[in-house]
Amino acid sequence: MIRSKLTGIKPTGGSKNNKPMKFKFILSAIALGILLLSCTESKKETSDIIEIVEVENKFNYLAEQFADIKILRYQVPGFDQLSLQQKKYVYYLTQAGLVGRDIIYDQNYRYNLTIRRAFENVYQNYQGDRNNDDWKNFETYLKRIWFANGIHHHYSNDKFKPEFSQDYLNNLLSATNSSLTGEAFDIIFNDADAKKVNLNPETGLVKGSAINFYSPNVTVKDVDNYYSKIKVAGKTPIEKGLNSKLVKENGIVKEKVWKSGGMYGASIDKIIYWLGKAKEVTENKEQTKGLGLLIKYYQTGDLKTWDEYNIVWATSTTGDIDYINGFIEVYSDPKGYKGTYESVVQIKDFDMSAKMAALANNAQWFEDNSTLIEEHKKKNVVGVTYNTVNVAGEAGDSSPSTPIGINLPNNNWIREQHGSKSVSLGNIIEAYNNSSGSGRLAEFAYDDEEIEYEEKYGQTADKLHTALHEVIGHASGQINEGVGTPKESLKNYASTLEEARADLVGLYYLPDEKLVEIGISPDAKGIGKVAFDGYIRNGLMVQLIRLNLGDDIEEAHMRNRQLVAAWAMEKGANDKVIEKVTKDGKTYFVINDYDQLRTLFGELLREIQRIKSEGDYEAGKALVENYGVKVDLDIHKEVLERNSKFNSAPYGGFINPVLVPSTNEDREIIDIVVIQPESFAIQMMEYAKQYTTLPNEN
Ligand SMILES: [Zn+2]
């Protein structure tokens, strides 16, 4: 449900062990910086801490940059404080995640494993010149594959264009006895399968998408027919189609289910093995029960068991350690059925969690006081929990590019009847924040005041927005009786509209005194100003650095941000609520009236909730297509030009710390320590060695 991916940068080091405890505490305190600032008595303490960190913070967050990517490191605060049993639990769960790693490559595209392995073999064995441009371009291409889990860009979905020739690649392949022939070779250089996920109905949602969820001969009509026949009667529908590939053989459309003994069975058996190890060292009975059901689901592929598992998982909240593992998010399926494989293992961050509970405890107040039409408000907001956790390991679709928050399960009836869990990934956010420079801010902010406020409150405002987006935003509102799920009613616009709705809930409440009253905001006006300035700046300008000139916006969060900003700009045009200003030949979007902008955000929130509640497809489509898709070419050109002097890559992702067990003579684990990998390439080659679980073609 969430998937805000960040871009910042900057690294710090810290393998755990060589740092004194105090240092670790400081880093986690900074990660929670906002909240400390909100307590008056902590203010002095906070500024002291920041000074110490500037002097002592030697952790090297930034591992390297290539293409449009920067690779960061993260620390795992709190790991050393876990008991041995808890450390084992974390370790087994991360192993369960990593052994499924090959699955995401195959899901993303049917030739990804073949290409990756041929390239890795070259990378490992090539004895020729590694200092020329050709080699560097080859290496960059391989790193981009590792980052995107395939040959399509993780964000734009476009196939990578190699900057080396077919002849050069052929030389490398034959010099290393690497096998890459036929279509799998040609695809690197030709125009076929150019987009991983295509959301433009005119070029074909299924036919136009390279994603490996449907065999190439399956049509949109086949998909619609197949799934309309699976009746999900009653009030507890399964997530149909979630864990299978749809194929057509001899004219018959059928599912190849991802389970033990089925498609991806070899990987899944290893996942089951490690989940079984984890099941022996859980913290409580709910976790044991949950893992038992997850294993049963992987054994059978039964989506009812998946629901049973999710109910236990959603209501299991007492341990210090949690995880996600499975085929979960459907963003990569143009039809919205198929889940990509992912895993995240997390350790609770108690301090931050306690503070965020203040928001969850007031969820009903936010619902009652929102701008929604009365009948669209929830009378009882159920099961909203929000926690900050620290990540101990990620795999599959969550790695190297990672979410910064997780809000699951996705099945609506489970969320409504049993609640959901929502977490913010604290150490990941902290690493991003510590890695971003201030040059780009100075370039795109209008004046010194905007910059000062951003520096003072920017991180606080970001964190509060993320929290409001997840805890209040996604939980808010109800769908009218008889109206289908947003996926059915709003179709390919559902994700963008849902993210816009959640963002707007956050924007509407960020300037609210209520946040000060419940102790999580230091300054309603200041936070509101910073959040609005940043949102407009990003939505109308800065986020465009991620696109090539002339491209439409495809990604749901980017569409939503431009939609919200451009809509508010247009609706407030007469009163110059947001004004386009030119200064020294540069364009800025300046907010003249924050109160009125808040009112506009409230109006758009009410309208988008109405669209969701009533399933008004045409209105939803008009909003997204009119405001969220097309890019102003002149602005885009200018933004790219102004951004060109910053060489900081627009996308960031992470290498994982390595959990290293030490054993006694009986080969029992006696301790586990966290160390940082030497480099991105070394970790990726190590993963390829340790976690190869699938054949090239599945
Ligand atoms: Zn969201």
Task: Calculate how far, in angstroms, residue 173's C-alpha sits from the geometric centre of ligand 1.
Answer: 43
Which pLDDT tens digit goes with each residue over 181-202? 999 999 999 999 999 999 888 8
Task: Calculate how far, in angstroms, residue 470's C-alpha sits from the geometric centre of ligand 1.
Answer: 6
Which pLDDT tens digit goes with each residue over 477-509? 999 999 989 989 999 999 999 999 999 999 999
Residues 423-430 have a mean pLDDT of 87
Task: Calculate how far, in angstroms, residue 405's C-alpha sits from the geometric centre of ligand 1.
Answer: 9
Task: Calculate how far, in angstroms, residue 534's C-alpha sits from the geometric centre of ligand 1.
Answer: 18
The helix/strand/coil state of 334 is: coil
Task: Calculate how far, in angstroms, residue 3's C-alpha sits from the geometric centre of ligand 1.
Answer: 6
Task: Calculate how far, in angstroms, residue 564's C-alpha sits from the geometric centre of ligand 1.
Answer: 14
Residue 10 has pLDDT above 70, yes or no: no
Which pLDDT tens digit goes with each residue over 630-672? 999 999 999 999 988 876 788 999 999 999 999 999 999 999 9
Integer CA distances (angstroms), 467 to 110, 233, 335, 507, in order = 37, 34, 29, 11
Count of helix runs (H) and strand runs (E) in the chain? 28, 14
Residue 299 has pLDDT above 50, yes or no: yes
What's the confidence (pLDDT) of residue 385?
59
Residues 611-622 have a mean pLDDT of 97
Task: Calculate how far, in angstroms, residue 1's C-alpha sits from the geometric centre of ligand 1.
Answer: 6
* Two structure tokens written together for 305: 């068991």
With cut-offs at 50, 70 and 90, classify the pLDDT of residue 350: low
Task: Calculate how far, in angstroms, residue 407's C-alpha sits from the geometric centre of ligand 1.
Answer: 8
Span of 8-22, 300-314, 655-669 with lowest mean pLDDT: 8-22
Task: Calculate how far, in angstroms, residue 262's C-alpha sits from the geometric centre of ligand 1.
Answer: 32
Residue 33 has pLDDT above 50, yes or no: no
Span of 5-14, 407-416, 637-646 with lowest mean pLDDT: 5-14
Q: Round to whole Å and give the CA distance between 147 and 405.
A: 19
With cut-offs at 50, 70 and 90, classify the pLDDT of residue 462: confident
Burial (Cβ within 10 Å: 0-12, 13-18, ≥19) of residue 229: exposed
Task: Calculate how far, in angstroms, residue 608's C-alpha sits from the geometric centre of ligand 1.
Answer: 14
CB 649 within 8 A of CB 69: yes
Task: Calculate how far, in angstroms, residue 507's C-alpha sits from the geometric centre of ligand 1.
Answer: 13
Q: Compute φ and ψ for 129, nearest 5 degrees.
A: -65, 120
Q: What is the CA radius of gyration of the chain?
A: 24
Task: Calculate how far, in angstroms, residue 377's C-alpha sits from the geometric centre of ligand 1.
Answer: 19
Task: Calculate how far, in angstroms, residue 425's C-alpha sits from the geometric centre of ligand 1.
Answer: 14
At residue 427, what is the residue type? N
Q: Round to whole Å and give the CA distance between 523 and 517.
A: 10
Largest CA distance in the chain: 78
With cut-offs at 50, 70 and 90, classify the pLDDT of residue 9: very low
Burial (Cβ within 10 Å: 0-12, 13-18, ≥19) of residue 302: middle
Which pLDDT tens digit goes with each residue over 95-111? 999 999 999 999 999 99
Task: Calculate how far, in angstroms, residue 2's C-alpha sits from the geometric centre of ligand 1.
Answer: 4
Which pLDDT tens digit goes with each residue over 547-582? 999 999 999 999 999 999 999 999 999 999 999 999
Task: Calculate how far, in angstroms, residue 268's C-alpha sits from the geometric centre of ligand 1.
Answer: 29
CB 294 within 8 A of CB 325: yes
Q: What is the DSSP string of 432-460?
A: HHTT--SHHHHHHSSSHHHHHHHHHHHHH
Task: Calculate how far, in angstroms, residue 114's C-alpha sits from the geometric centre of ligand 1.
Answer: 34
Task: Calculate how far, in angstroms, residue 502's C-alpha sits from the geometric centre of ligand 1.
Answer: 6
CA atoms in the 13 A half-sphere facing the CB of 257: 11
What's the confidence (pLDDT) of residue 352?
64
Bridge partners, 395 (sequence order) = 343
